[in-house]
Amino acid sequence: MSESEKFVAANIDRFSGFADLYDRYRPKPPAIIVDLLIQLARNSRPDVVDLGSGTGLSSLIWANRAASVIGIEPSRDMRVQAQARAAQARAERVSFVEGLSIATGLSAGCADIVTCSQSLHWMEPGGTFAEVARILRDGGIFAAYDCDWPPTLNVEAESAYQECRVKAAKIEAQHRVSPHVQKWRKSEHLDRIRASGRFRYAREVLVHHVESGGAQRLVGLMLSQGEIAALLKHGLTEDEIGITELREAAHRALGDSIVPWYWSYRIRMAMK
């Protein structure tokens, strides 16, 4: 197996085995993203392709606005969860297929809009941008968007969340749990999009979104992170990783309260 094949396999495996947690606790992207991209694409009923579509959270926001939506997802666990979610929502225009960002299997010029929600940092940039440009129609829009972690909700709870992630990252490195996993800095997405030479009108915009949650959801959000899932699959316990500490700190900070969660999204987008 080549090095590139190893990292692709490792990145896919990182998100296997916890699709239910991912679907239950991750945020749903804000509807304003749909409004913005439709306006820029100048097409009120676009054909949309969602790369790294996961459990369908980012695909189903298009269900009532797009002519068609195809979610590309390499993880079987995630696709099964996405298909169940789409069936429950009776989203007949939304489908999910196995594929990679560098090899979607779709026909050239099939999409008006291509999105990556919380996923571009796991994708090899050069091949991904080439594939996006291939499947986009002229004048089509590519948008990669990510939210800041964690949401803004409570100083003590956020601090505990950040401390848990730092601890988990150190443990993952010490145990060499994921030696072939590879990711790219989100802060460099826009520069890479521009440097690819495949797009024009490349820029970043910020939008905000409000959901709600309490201590249980904050812990669930942590359990939906790839590094936490990898450590648990490796045999480490919640005590060793820091989940127990996070659970206790979140309950001290929030008790049984459900409070607004303020999510900030960074959208890096470009036109073909």
- Taking alpha carbons only, the member of 162, 170, 121, 167 closest to residue 14 is 121
Q: Cα(first)–Cα(last) distance of the chain, in Å?
A: 34
Are 246 and 219 within 8 A, CB to CB? yes
Residue 227 covered by a domain: no
Residue 159 covered by a domain: no
Predicted model pTM: 0.96
Residue 254 covered by a domain: no
Residue 50 covered by a domain: yes
Q: Containing domain of residue 206, as a range?
A: 3-148+180-211+260-271
Residue 229 covered by a domain: no
Please list the alpha-helical segments (H only) found in 58-212: 76-89, 125-135, 155-175, 189-195
Tens place of pLDDT per residue across the chain (272 aa): 676 778 888 888 888 899 999 999 999 999 999 999 999 999 999 999 999 999 999 999 999 999 999 999 999 999 999 999 999 999 999 999 999 999 999 999 999 999 999 999 999 999 999 999 999 999 999 999 999 999 999 999 999 999 999 999 999 999 898 888 899 999 999 999 999 999 999 999 999 999 999 999 999 999 999 999 999 999 999 999 999 999 999 999 999 999 999 999 999 999 99
Are 264 and 30 within 8 A, CB to CB? no
Cα separation, 256 vs 127, in Å, equals 46
Residue 74 covered by a domain: yes
Residue 135 covered by a domain: yes
Residue 33 covered by a domain: yes
By CB neighbour count within 10 A (0-12 exposed, 13-18 middle, 19+ buried), where does 117 fall? buried
Cα separation, 166 vs 152, in Å, equals 18
> For the domain that residue 33 is a member of, what is the CATH number?
3.40.50.150
Q: How many domains is the chain built from?
A: 1
